[in-house]
Amino acid sequence: MPSYKLRYFDLRGRAEVIRWMFACSRVEYEDDRIKSEEWKEMKNNVQDFPFKQMPVLEVVSDDGTKTVVAQSQTILRFVGTELGLNGKTKFDVARCDMLNEHVMSALMTLPWEVEDKEEKARLMLEAVTGPITEHLKLLETFVQDSGHLVGSDFTSADINFSTACEFLTPTCPALLDCVPKLKALDEKVRGSPGIAKWIAERPVTHI
């Protein structure tokens, strides 16, 4: 069994979906949280951080070889494959990919770069009630009779959708009321034993 070390700031951010995937599968990994002060020195080590950014996932294979996987969407896909969370067929894998990209497109409409608090809150509400709601209505059409987005069990698509909601519902708690199938899926993901345990125990961070 390979060993895994996920390296990111002490934030949910781009790493939380990966943490939930490990939690869902109950596979051990090291959750390495790097302080901003340490990061300035560390980021120039391109062996460990190939793009001078995080998250990265270090994987040590059974033969001792270390591989660094960078770029959050690539880590999402890779961990999905490692943990059997990308469905059963090549079309399931493609469906996970396309839904994860759709969720990323939705998140890209948020005002990440805006620093002024009031302006940010205004633009957040505008995005969440506008383009994000439209993205969610489209995503709702992909929920299967099983209640899942892909096949009949948890996949990276379910988990990624649910972690994305954590960025959105603080701005608009009733956001999922217009997409009841997704609302039920979010509850199912958050209530699954490994993830519920992680949510109860995880470090509390502002984002």
Binding site for ligand GSH (CB under 6 A): 13-14, 43, 53-55, 71-73
Q: Which is nearer to ligand GSH, 25 or 71 (CB)?
A: 71
First to last CA, the chain: 32
Least Å from the CB of residue 108 to ligand GSH: 11
At position 106, the amino acid (one-letter code) is: A
Contacts of 122 (CB under 8 A, 6+ apart): none
Q: What is the CA radius of gyration of the chain?
A: 17
CA dist., res. 106 & res. 18, Å (int): 19
* Alpha-carbon separation of residue 123 from 90, 109, 111, 165, 198 (angstroms): 38, 10, 6, 17, 31
Phi, psi of 5, deg, nearest 5:
-130, 120
Q: Which is nearer to ligand GSH, 13 or 111 (CB)?
A: 13
Q: Which is nearer to ligand GSH, 13 or 194 (CB)?
A: 13
Half-sphere exposure of 199 (CA within 13 A, CB side): 15
Q: Which is nearer to ligand GSH, 20 or 148 (CB)?
A: 20
Least Å from the CB of residue 25 to ligand GSH: 21
Nearest to 76 by CA among 108, 46, 101, 51: 101
Q: How many Å is the maximal CA-CA distance in the chain?
A: 53
Least Å from the CB of residue 73 to ligand GSH: 6
Q: Which is nearer to ligand GSH, 72 or 171 (CB)?
A: 72
Contact 34, 9 (CB under 8 A): yes
Least Å from the CB of residue 7 to ligand GSH: 10
Least Å from the CB of residue 53 to ligand GSH: 3
Least Å from the CB of residue 177 to ligand GSH: 30
Q: Which is nearer to ligand GSH, 60 or 207 (CB)?
A: 207
